[in-house]
Structure 1
Amino acid sequence: MGTMPIKRLLINMSVPMMISMLVQSLYNIVDSIFVAQISEEALTGVSLAFPIQTLMISLAVGSGVGMNALVSRRLGQKRFEEANQTAENAIFLNVIHSFLFFLFGIFLVRAFFTAQTSNAEILRHGKDYLDIVTIFSFGLYMQVTFERMLQSTGLSIYSMISQATGAITNIILDPIFIFGWFGLPAMGTKGAAIATVIGQLLAALLGVYFNIHFNKELRLSLKKFRPSIQIAKDIYAIGIPSIVMMAIGSVLNLSMNNILISFTATATAVFGVYFRLQSFVFMPVFGMNNGMVPILGYNLGAMQPDRIKDTIKLAVRYAVIIMLIGTVIFQLFPEALLALFNASDGMLKIGIPALRIISIHYIIAGVSIVLSSAFQAFGYGKYSLVVSLTRQILVLLPVAYSMSLTGNVNNIWWAYPIAEVVSLIFCIFFMKRINQKQIEPLYDMVAQQLTE
């Protein structure tokens, strides 16, 4: 990570993750496509469950981001034992996270749905789905943890294999469990949830196997493991902004669901479909960022400012290209995209303008996503947090609510482009500050070392 040409390095580190996250987003889309064949109420129920799934993923990914940045930095500094201890403590933290959602699944799922809807069909489908994915969330947390370990040491290809295997398993099992193929009982939305957790558990097992057999940089030991409050603090110091950002997204989704369901349950279903579809565009950018973060962390530790700058510039360029492609698809083919989800005439009426309006902001979002990830790699997760809070809570949600008062559901979607412009302004401002504080001083440090 300190010597390979940046373009080649970023591609090598990112492409496996981009492919695996594309597959990951594909199985989320396929999940919803199959659920939509049951009924629009089933699709709405699963859509209402999405904020809790986002919250689950936020804890897994956030602690993974913290571990990833710290492990990469420790390896760049040749502090190998500390890198091992960081990885071991990250496993421990995610075991705790999975237990918290086990308790949520046992005691709070029904209350979560009854607070949003009185429709018995929507409630039944949503509870059937969320009960299973929360109670059996251990696979999700271990999958993300061990995949991030592979990424932090440059073994993204193995991370891709484990994630893709879990996703493909889910895609294969979905129709079998949902519709009762091969003599099995038709389990509906329960079947979709069971397929999901089986895929996650399989991916987690592969992640463990790959780390044990191929990860030469990290040597995990349960016998030597001791929980460390300081390491946990260090992981969360970097990861909490990412956790909070995604948790804010969960709050936003929950609030948007409540705004939209006041118009019609169909509007909520459209919002759920949109989030599945947008993931197919955004996930490759997130995958690239997963490859970018360890490169930045390593070269920060190794004091190579030129490589840091080149990595960020190249990542921004690739993100803009990906988002441009996504914009074109959403603008030209919204009806075909919605048809994948067995869209009714009412759903098409709401969904077509929704996809076209929201996708206007994709190119701007690509730049903001890359810069926000860079903030985390430098240990300035608080900047990412400020950007996310401003975008989603201070701008997007109030604008969406204000637009809902016009009585036209289509006006609500304009909140996304408006919020993204504000987000980009903050990102550029913070990136300039990091450049002055952390990147430019590296040149003086390197020059001083050479003179000594």
Structure 2
Amino acid sequence: MTKESNSAPSKRRANLLEAPVADTLKQMTIPMIYGMVLLMTFNLVDTFFVGLLGTQPLAAISFTFPVTFTVLSLTIGLGIGTSAVIAKLLGKKDQCTAKDSATAAMYLAAIIVASLSFVGYLFTDELFTLLGAQASLLPLIHDYIDIWYIGSVCLIGPMIGNAILRASGDTKTPSLVMGSAGLVNAILDPIFIFGLGPIPAIGIKGAAIATLVSWIFGLAFVLNILTRKLDLIHTHIIPFHKLLPACKSILKIGLPAAGANMLTPIAAAIMTAIVATYGESAVAAFGVGSRIESIACLVVLAMSMTLPPFISQNFGAGHMHRVEEAYKVSVKFVMLWQLVIFVILVGLAPWIASAFAKEQAVEDIIKLFIWILPLGYGLQGIIILTNSSFNALHKPMIALWLSIVRLFVCYVPLAYLGSYLYGLQGFFIGALLGNVLMATISYRLFSKQFTSTSSVSQVESI
């Protein structure tokens, strides 16, 4: 790397191999929280503007969520694989191979996403008809998803490019990329949807174009950082003999991680179906509770992005004592943090419920949700961080199996059993007990990595 590229990253990149563990994780996580809050806020603005178009456009976009989530889950999985591979190489001080792998990751993600989107484009009508969309909605779905497919290749910027930056210890730049791209989208949405000056109103197409432009902006932003400022990827085509092994390494972790991501909406659909047996009020309250959960667990999600690069770099350097310390510090923090969040939510439960509900039945169920499920968010955080940590140790199949066991052996079955025996209250308690059981399994399994020795060879032998 050039002298300039070595000096520039020092301002943004944390020293993951030598700096104090707790301080380093804090330094990495706080910028990610800011970026995620901004992104979530701007996405809400996006949904708000589309909702102003009417019920049909909102329904059309709602039908696209399973398809877009599939592409996003695959890209997130590739980002997890990218981060794990590159961070380990950087921990080994193998800068050249890390740069080759980062470049290969961008190629790989672009090819896979483009191929998947092209197939989706060819079978749009068949796919959305299968999902239950009426023929009258298909033109609106085309207006949005056709443009979304074109722009999806640009996802390699915010997803893969940011993963490369996090692997190097830089979480400030990814936070800036997420926030900036979200801001661009939020500004352009009303302009393209409703028109402004010489720009005509183009409705739902405008929402898709705003998203496309924000992704192009994010991709250009990331590429400029990765190539010109940090020198983390090549600007030329890398030879096939370097490309192939790098892609295999990324896919080995990325595909199981993507599969684990896709299990979550399946489990959520089953849980919603169980709740639906109690009527529309229960479904509405459960939907509100799910939104509360996504906000309440924001810090855990941010840590799930910052802990893996730390673990992978120290794994590559053979510093397993720092891996153990980082994991245990993170677990203690999320338990305490989520306990504080639980106390706050319980105190605000009446106000939260009344703000979201127009009917007393919905309000009562929202309060019941808040009084029970958030008590287990710290335990849920242990599960999430453990899965992320196994991916970081290049053990994605363990993480995948933990996700399967958590969702389809513990969480959903115990929630169903509780519902069967004790109604809606039993449903919530069963889900809570599922998190208790799975958190115990996850923590003990990961702790076994360090019971005999902290050497890399011991971890590899499991």
Same fold (TM over 0.5): yes
The 5 Å alignment of 1:20-419 reads 20-36=35-51, 46-47=61-62, 49-117=64-132, 129-180=144-195, 189-216=204-231, 218-226=232-240, 228-256=243-271, 274-333=289-348, 345=359, 351=366, 353-399=368-414, 413-414=428-429, 416-419=431-434
Query: 1:339 and 1:177 mapped to 2: Cα distance?
Result: 35
What do the CA deviations read for 1:142-163 (whole angstroms, capped 9, x no partner)? 3211111111112222121111
Structure 1 position 5 matched with structure 2 position 4: no
Counterpart contact for 2:113–2:152, Cα < 8 Å? yes
Using the TM superposition, give the Cα deviation of residue 141 of structure 1 relative to its aligned residue in structure 2, in angstroms. 2.9
Counterpart contact for 1:169–1:199, Cα < 8 Å? yes
Query: 1:395 and 1:174 mapped to 2: Cα distance?
Result: 41
Counterpart contact for 1:238–1:380, Cα < 8 Å? yes
Query: 1:266 and 1:126 mapped to 2: Cα distance?
Result: 29
Secondary structure at the aligned position of 2:19 is classed as coil
Using the TM superposition, give the Cα deviation of residue 338 of structure 1 relative to its aligned residue in structure 2, in angstroms. 7.2
Structure 2 counterpart of 1:295, one-letter code: F
Q: Which runs of 5+ in 2 are unaligned?
A: 1-15
What do the CA deviations read for 1:15-46 (whole angstroms, capped 9, x no partner)? 22222122222233333444455567766665
Pick aligned residue for 2:454 from 430, 440, 447: 440
Query: 2:124 and 2:271 mapped to 1: Cα distance?
Result: 19
Using the TM superposition, give the Cα deviation of residue 118 of structure 1 relative to its aligned residue in structure 2, in angstroms. 6.2
Using the TM superposition, give the Cα deviation of residue 376 of structure 1 relative to its aligned residue in structure 2, in angstroms. 1.3
Q: Matched residues, percent identical?
A: 24
Counterpart contact for 2:100–2:233, Cα < 8 Å? no
Cα 1:13/1:433, change in 2 over 3 Å: same
Counterpart contact for 2:87–2:313, Cα < 8 Å? yes
Structure 2 counterpart of 1:52, one-letter code: V
- CA RMSD of the aligned region, Å? 3.7
Using the TM superposition, give the Cα deviation of residue 171 of structure 1 relative to its aligned residue in structure 2, in angstroms. 2.6
Secondary structure at the aligned position of 1:78 is classed as coil
Structure 2 counterpart of 1:317, one-letter code: K
What do the CA deviations read for 1:186-224 (whole angstroms, capped 9, x no partner)? 5555544443333222112111111112214x2414333
Counterpart contact for 1:104–1:134, Cα < 8 Å? no
Q: Which runs of 5+ in 1 are unaligned?
A: 446-452
What TM-score do you get using the length of structure 1 for normalisation? 0.82
Counterpart contact for 1:42–1:121, Cα < 8 Å? no
Structure 2 counterpart of 1:89, one-letter code: A
Query: 1:48 and 1:265 mapped to 2: Cα distance?
Result: 20
Cα 1:359/1:175, change in 2 over 3 Å: farther
Which residue pairs with 2:445 in the alignment? 430
Cα 1:403/1:436, change in 2 over 3 Å: closer
Higher relative contact order (CA 8 A, sep 6+): 1
Which deviates further from its counterpart, 12-21 or 327-336?
327-336
Cα 1:321/1:140, change in 2 over 3 Å: farther
Using the TM superposition, give the Cα deviation of residue 248 of structure 1 relative to its aligned residue in structure 2, in angstroms. 0.9
Structure 2 counterpart of 1:384, one-letter code: A
What do the CA deviations read for 1:67-96 (whole angstroms, capped 9, x no partner)? 111111112212222112211221122112
Structure 2 counterpart of 1:376, one-letter code: N
Cα 1:391/1:41, change in 2 over 3 Å: farther
Query: 2:125 and 2:279 mapped to 1: Cα distance?
Result: 21
How many residue pairs align between the two structures? 442
Using the TM superposition, give the Cα deviation of residue 302 of structure 1 relative to its aligned residue in structure 2, in angstroms. 1.8
Secondary structure at the aligned position of 1:228 is classed as helix
Counterpart contact for 1:133–1:193, Cα < 8 Å? yes
Counterpart contact for 1:60–1:94, Cα < 8 Å? yes
Query: 1:177 and 1:332 mapped to 2: Cα distance?
Result: 42
Which residue pairs with 1:448 in the alignment? none
